[in-house]
């Protein structure tokens, strides 16, 4: 892959970058995203942040290959420690678990001054991000769900604002997404149909386990999730 052609997943992330933004791509890997966004005139400048040496060196090479060293800087560091307050308007974090993305945002909260948009693409557990946004004054403005190479991804877009605005049924929409659960696309139905199957299998397997308060609590959590998803998908057994 090169910066001239992005994956469908990263193209979706880029589509939400406001024109002229100073972007910071955290966990940038090969820096494909910032190189593409700047090269196409979407972003004015970029920072590619990487914590691991190998991806950091790959990002350095890609920026040099793209002849964008004047407008994209590659920095090595953990999470948001690669940026300073008021240095960027838009932060992208893609290709990690939702809990990890939420922890990166939490640890780097002091670096978010001046940032007006977050574009976050968790591979799993988007609920962790929605909870963090809700608790920290970020309003979810859009969501996308897509399938690529037999994997399903969600993209969450948030701006500073009233974090409660998109929610009508909080518990349901934190899990499934306030926008996605209304749209109920075919990919959405596929994702949650697969989750239902897994949860039902887990419950079945739990019947063989020794009873304990911890097990009962875990069962109750799974049953609640099944009820939520069944109601939204209208898939009662």
pLDDT attached to residue 94? 97
pLDDT at 237: 47
What's the topology of domain 8-166? Rossmann fold (3.40.50)
- The number of angstroms, rounded, from the C-alpha of 121 to the middle of its chain's C-alpha atoms is 2
Q: Strands 151-160 and 138-148: what pairing?
A: antiparallel
Please name the helix (run of DSSP H) or strand (run of DSSP E) that holds residue 69, with its range, or none. none
pLDDT along the chain (237 residues), means of 10: 76 98 96 97 98 96 97 97 97 97 98 97 97 98 97 97 97 98 97 96 86 87 95 77
pLDDT at 207: 83
Q: Are 44 and 21 in contact (CB under 8 A)?
A: yes
**β-bridge partners, 212:** none
Q: Fill in the DSSP letter of residue 68.
A: -
Boundaries of every domain in the chain:
8-166, 187-233
Residue 54 backbone phi and psi in degrees, to 5 = -60, -55
Per-residue confidence (pLDDT) for residue 4, from 0 to 100: 60
What is the C-alpha to C-alpha distance for residues 114 and 86, in angstroms, rounded to an integer? 4
Q: Residue 235: its pLDDT value, please? A: 66
């Amino acid at each position: 892959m090169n910066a001239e052609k992005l994956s469908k997943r990263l193209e979706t992330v880029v589509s939400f970058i406001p024109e002229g933004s100073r972007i910071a791509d955290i966990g940038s890997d090969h820096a494909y995203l910032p190189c593409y966004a700047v090269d196409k005139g979407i972003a004015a400048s970029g920072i590619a942040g990487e914590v691991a040496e190998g991806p950091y060196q790959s990002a350095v090479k890609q920026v040099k290959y793209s002849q964008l060293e004047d407008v994209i800087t590659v920095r090595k560091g953990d999470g948001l420690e690669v940026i300073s307050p008021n240095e960027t308007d838009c932060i992208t974090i893609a290709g990690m678990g939702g809990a990890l993305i939420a922890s990166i945002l939490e640890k780097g909260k002091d670096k978010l001054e001046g940032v007006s948009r977050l574009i976050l693409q968790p591979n799993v557990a988007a609920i962790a991000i929605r909870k963090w946004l809700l608790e920290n004054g970020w309003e979810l403005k859009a969501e996308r769900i897509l399938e690529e190479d037999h994997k399903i991804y969600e993209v969450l877009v948030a701006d500073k604002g009233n974090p409660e605005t998109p929610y009508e049924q909080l518990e349901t929409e934190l899990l499934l997404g306030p926008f996605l659960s209304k749209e109920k696309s075919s990919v959405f139905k596929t994702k949650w149909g697969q989750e239902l199957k897994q949860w039902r299998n887990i419950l079945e397997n739990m019947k063989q386990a020794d009873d304990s308060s911890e097990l009962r609590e875990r069962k109750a959590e799974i049953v609640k999730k099944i009820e939520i998803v069944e109601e939204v998908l209208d898939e009662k057994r």
